[in-house]
C-alpha cells in the first residue's frame, strides 16, 4: 500500500501552494502537475527525456493498479447485421 500523509495548503501571492511533509519532498525546484480523476498528481520534473525514462525505470516497473482495473466486462454486440 502506498504511503499517505497530510500536506498543508497556503497562499503564495495569488497562487495556492502545498507544503509537503519531509518524506514526500522532491529534488529540484519544479514538479510536473496533472489533473487526474481523483484529484491532482505531482510527479518529478525531468526536462531531459532520458532522465525522465530513468526516473520511470527507478520505480521498478510495478503496475499502477496492483489488483487490476475493476470494471464490468465489455458487452458483446452485433455490429453488422
Within a domain: 21? yes
Question: Which residues have CB under 8 Å from 32's CB, separation 6+?
Answer: 42, 43, 44, 45
Within a domain: 49? yes
Within a domain: 37? yes
Within a domain: 42? yes
Within a domain: 80? no
Domain hosting 44: range is 8-58
pTM confidence score: 0.50
Distance CA 39, CA 34 (A): 9
**How many folded domains does the chain comprise?**
1
For 17-70, what is each residue's pLDDT tens digit? 999 999 989 888 888 899 988 888 888 887 788 877 887 777 776 666 777 778
Amino acid at each position: 500500500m502506498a504511503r499517505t500523509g497530510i500536506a498543508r495548503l497556503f497562499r503564495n501571492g495569488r497562487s495556492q501552494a502545498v507544503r509537503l511533509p519531509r518524506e514526500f519532498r522532491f529534488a529540484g525546484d519544479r514538479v510536473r502537475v496533472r489533473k487526474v480523476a481523483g484529484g491532482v498528481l505531482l510527479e518529478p520534473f525531468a526536462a531531459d527525456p532520458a532522465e525522465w525514462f530513468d526516473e520511470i525505470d527507478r520505480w521498478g516497473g510495478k503496475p499502477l493498479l496492483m489488483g487490476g482495473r475493476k470494471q464490468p466486462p465489455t458487452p458483446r454486440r452485433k455490429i453488422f447485421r
